[in-house]
């Protein structure tokens, strides 16, 4: 889905077994629909409109997150890293 005009993730919230998701270059800003994707292991948010990582805090299987070219604050990254210590975050 990377590079598309996708902005609403609501339909993806039903894909409960999804393990990888590439949203780079999309217009995505709201991650709340992803909060139920407990099998998600890799998420690429590079070059998106995302600023709030709170919805990802309970995705305990998430191992890689790409946040390059985003406006996510250092505080948001630190909070997520505390919640998910095994998570590798690219900035």
pTM: 0.93
* Count of CB atoms situated within 10 Å of the CB of 23: 24
Rounded to 10 degrees, the C-alpha dihedral 3/5/64/20 comes to -90
In the CATH scheme, what is the code of domain 10-90?
A: 3.80.10.10
Residue 5's pLDDT is: 72
Query: Once rounded to an integer, what is the mean pLDDT over residues 12-35?
Result: 95
Kindly list the domain boundaries of the chain, sorted by start residue: 10-90
What does pLDDT average to over the chain?
A: 94
Per residue in 33-53, pLDDT (tens digit) is 999 999 999 999 999 999 999
Helix or strand or coil: residue 75?
Answer: helix
Please determine, for residue 78, whether its predicted confidence score (pLDDT) is greater than 90: yes
| Distance of alpha carbon 61 from alpha carbon 10, whole angstroms | 21
| Distance of alpha carbon 75 from alpha carbon 38, whole angstroms | 23
């Amino acid at each position: 889905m990377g590079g598309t005009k996708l902005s609403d993730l609501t339909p993806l919230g039903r894909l409960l077994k999804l393990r990888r998701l590439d949203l780079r270059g999309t217009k995505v800003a709201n991650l709340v629909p992803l909060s139920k994707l407990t099998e998600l292991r890799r998420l690429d948010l590079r070059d998106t409109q995302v600023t709030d990582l709170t919805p990802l805090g309970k995705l305990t299987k998430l191992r890689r997150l790409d946040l390059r070219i985003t406006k996510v604050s250092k505080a948001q990254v630190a909070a997520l890293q505390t919640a998910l210590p095994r998570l590798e975050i690219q900035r």
